[in-house]
Chains A and B, each alone.
Chain A
Amino acid sequence: MKIIQMLPCLNYGDAIGNDVIAIHHALQENGYQSQIIAEVVDQRLGNDLAQTIDQWKAPKKDDIIIYHLSVGWKYINYVTDAKCRKICIYHNITPAHFYKNYDSTAYNYCLTGIEEVKRIAGAFDYCLADSDFNRQDLISYGFKCKIDVLPILIAFDDYKKEPGKGVIRKYKGTPGANILFVGRVVPNKMHEDLIRAFYLYKKYYDPDAKLFLVGRYIETDVYYRRLKGYIDALGVQDVIFPGHIKFNDILAYYSIADVFLCMSEHEGFCVPLVESMFFHVPILAYDSTAIASTLGGSGILFKEKNMTEVAGLIDRVVKDQDLRKAMIEGQDRRLKDFDNAVVMDMFLKYLKDFIAQEK
């Protein structure tokens, strides 16, 4: 019996890619024969980790395909037509409307992706969802099979690496609070709301504050350019887009952050929340989609984007040491639920139960 993980794109350094690789290693360590097949495999991952779709061989009847669903895929019929058992790990597809005015390719991908999810609802024997929000999504799309919740596997060992000294030297100990958000510069993450709240915080509470918006972007992206236009129009200083930086520099930004602020309006899980917990950075987040379930009662959630109040809340979290301590303690407790061993045991148990049930 072979377990074949399939996905459109195995990227280097993103949450789904890391999840796939972690599952692959865990399967191998537990005696399963494991393979990864993707349409495109990032060369930075080397040649031995995964095979491309042109190396696809029809699976045997007792094999299991685990399909990582996060976007539409032109080779989805390879999965749905396969004569073997099929599990879907659903990472969520961003609603297309976020991209409507910004990126027609992404807009169409998301639109066709959601149509595809509805179409393949009956093709899977079992589903795993990163969050209860994702689970509810699958149910709304017509999935009738059993769906369990399994958090994304996060490579915590990687976070123990040495943080980038350059970033620390430049910003640690400088006047003003360091406010951090980590995530790709894409419309659903609502960077404009982060900038607006930061503008008010800087104006009314801390003129020396800095806002670090760590995440990938392309200079010519329409959304990124509109954000830059917004920053210029507001005249707000110290909004820093480090861009696609080395991993150890990301660690450095976490290590110098005073607050993690999230205004995202669509997340299937939000790995940076867990990363903030790991680095003991107090979290303030807008309560949308899967944010609350990932936080699990830790951090502070707000249901309305009253930016003046958000600015006041940032100031309170930065200055009130007792509050910071209580938040970090709560986050430390929640972090234990994402321990690799805990999540992996959960996954292996789900897998064993699935195999036993299907027999």
Chain B
Amino acid sequence: MEENTNMNIDVTKIMEEIRADIDARGLRDEVLSFEEIPMPQQATVVDSGTGPFNNDEFMDSNMYMNRCFQVQTWQPIKSNRPLGFLIIFFKKIIRKLIRFFIDPIVNEQNDFNANTTRSMNQVRNYIHETSTKNTQTEDAVKAMQLRMETMSREITELNRKVAALEEENRSLRKDAE
């Protein structure tokens, strides 16, 4: 393990000390390797289960759909095997021969993908519109609540003044009598 030369830091010395400590304590990296973990099967159904709506996750998926809805029939053909050039040649011939069968299927799939993506884009737009309207409605409700609180205070004040005036009126009438 080589270390970079960092200003003001003697990395070589630090690593020597670390190695000495590792040797002294007999520490070992006898850990299961990542390569021993089997490759999971490709998932066919995305199911994130129930839970609150996550706009970021929705937007990420929507972006992916818009980017990748079109499936390509053409895929690169490579071979690292001996006589790979022959394998590539014959695979290219096979690819040409089966195109009449594959292309219509892919075109149908692409049509479906395009329509699905368009639908999701409309859902996205609906969410955006509804979200904007909700925000506006919430703002209006908050403004109305504030107005109600203000009016309530004004009514209380007016009632107080009316009560005071009625009291004054009664007092004046009594004096007049």
Contacts and interface: CB of A to CB of B under 8 A. Distances in A.
B31 A297 contact: no
B37 interface: yes
A330 B6 contact: yes
| A contact residues, range | 35 or more
Interface string B139-167: 00000000000000000000000000000
Interface string A110-146: 0110010000000000000000000000000000000
B32 A233 contact: yes
Interface string B8-21: 11010011011101
| B contact residues, range | 35 or more
Contacts of B5: 297
A230 interface: yes
B39 interface: yes
Nearest to B33: A196
A230 B9 contact: no
A244 B56 contact: yes
B66 interface: yes
Contacts of B19: 309, 312
Nearest to B40: A225
Interface string A312-323: 110010000001
A11 B63 contact: yes
B7 interface: yes
A199 interface: yes
A11 B67 CA distance: 11
Contacts of B72: 108
A219 B67 contact: no
B99 interface: no
A15 to B, nearest CB: 16
Interface of A: 8-9, 11-12, 39-40, 42-44, 74, 101, 105, 108, 111-112, 115, 192-193, 196, 199-200, 204, 216, 218-220, 222, 225-226, 229-230, 233-234, 244, 287, 292, 295, 297-304, 306-309, 311-313, 316, 323, 326-327, 329-330
Q: Sort A-B residue pairs by CB-CB distance and give the 3 closest, nearest first.
A: A220-B43, A192-B34, A312-B18
